[in-house]
Amino acid sequence: MLRVEIHHRYAPDTAFGSAPQGGRAFDLEISFEAKGPVVALCGPSGAGKTSVVNAISGLLRPASARVTLGNETFVDTAAGRFVPPHRRGIGSVFQDGALFPHLSVRQNLAFGTWFRTDAKGAMGSAEMARLLGIEHLLDQRPATLSGGEKQRVAIGRALMARPRLLLLDEPMAALDADRRQRILPVFERVRDEMKVPIVYVSHNLDEVARLANDIVWLEDGRVRAVETGMTHVEPDRPIAPRLH
């Protein structure tokens, strides 16, 4: 269960770290509850989707907020609690991957494991690479990868740190339809096999329909609609027999 409550005002200037919406003042008044395991954040550009994601990961420190996942509280401004991003264990996949350009793919994948003292149950870089179909890229630098390859590495990198929640902020925005179709199953495996809950930001309703259990529709910094408890039909149990 993910509970998010954010009240934040971006100052109306272009100064550092504020006002992402073209410099105008912007109020964020968000409150929702979602069961998951996949929660989709939808809405037009400038609705505040990325701000919500950043508040969950800790990159944004809202004026007033309460963010909890299960019985873990990440932020509770009323109680003076703010867990810094590096202690939250929340993985993020950014739009174009944001892979470290000075490290090889292998090092990118391993990065998150360098800060975990408990190696128990950790997947090796090689195993993760096999799972994502990027074994042949391990010794390359990110600059030589295609957009789809970068995204696979970024997903692998986030998963290697064994996050308790995975934030995907328009992870396929830079990819063409063909590549989207090939990466989508990766997210399904993360959801179904690794059991990592996901917050998924997207404009693409097809993707959302395929992945999400809950949809939170944002507009102008507010929650317009919430739809919860959608279930997905497993491909190996076709719905066709039920039709007659």
Partner 1 sequence: MLDLTPDEWEALALSIKVAFWATVASLPLAVLVSYALARWRFPGRSALDALVHLPLVLPPVVTGYLLLLTFGRQGPVGQFLESWFGIVVSFRWTGAALAAAIMSFPLMVRAIRLSIEAVDRRYEHAGATLGANPIMVFLLITLPLALPGLLAGSVLGFAKALGEFGATITFVSAIPGETRTVPATIYGYLQTPGGEDAALRLSIIAVAISMAALLASELISRRLPSRSGT
CB of 210 to partner 1, least distance (A): 25
What one-character-per-residue DSSP string does 90-144 give? EEEE-TT----TTS-HHHHHHGGGGG-S--TTPPPHHHHHHHHT-GGGTTS-GGG
Q: How many residues bind partner 1 (CB under 8 A)?
A: 31
Q: Which is nearer to partner 1, 97 or 221 (CB)?
A: 97
Distance separating alpha carbons of residues 143 and 134, to the nearest angstrom:
15
- Tell me if 89 contacts partner 1 by CB under 8 A: yes
Distance separating alpha carbons of residues 153 and 148, to the nearest angstrom:
9
Q: In whole angstroms, what separates CA 101 from the centre of its chain?
A: 21
- Tell me if 143 contacts partner 1 by CB under 8 A: yes
CB of 27 to partner 1, least distance (A): 22
Distance separating alpha carbons of residues 85 and 112, to the nearest angstrom:
13
Are the CB atoms for 186 and 110 separated by under 8 Å? no
Return the residue of 32, 37, 51, 92 that touches partner 1, per CB under 8 A. Answer: 92
Q: How is residue 65 written in tokens?
A: 């907020």
Return the residue of 62, 157, 187, 198 that touches partner 1, per CB under 8 A. Answer: 157
Binding marks (x or -) toward partner 1, 112..141, rule CB under 8 A?
A: x-xxx-------------------------
* Among 19-27, 71-79, 85-93, 119-127, the segment contacting partner 1 (CB under 8 A): 85-93
Q: Nearest-CA neighbor of 82 among 106, 52, 62, 108?
A: 62
* Among 4-12, 30-38, 121-129, 156-164, the segment contacting partner 1 (CB under 8 A): 156-164
Are the CB atoms for 117 and 89 separated by under 8 Å? no
Return the residue of 129, 134, 158, 223 that touches partner 1, per CB under 8 A. Answer: 158
Residues near partner 1 (CB under 8 A) are 16, 57-59, 84-92, 94, 96, 98-102, 111-112, 114-116, 142-143, 157-158, 161, 167
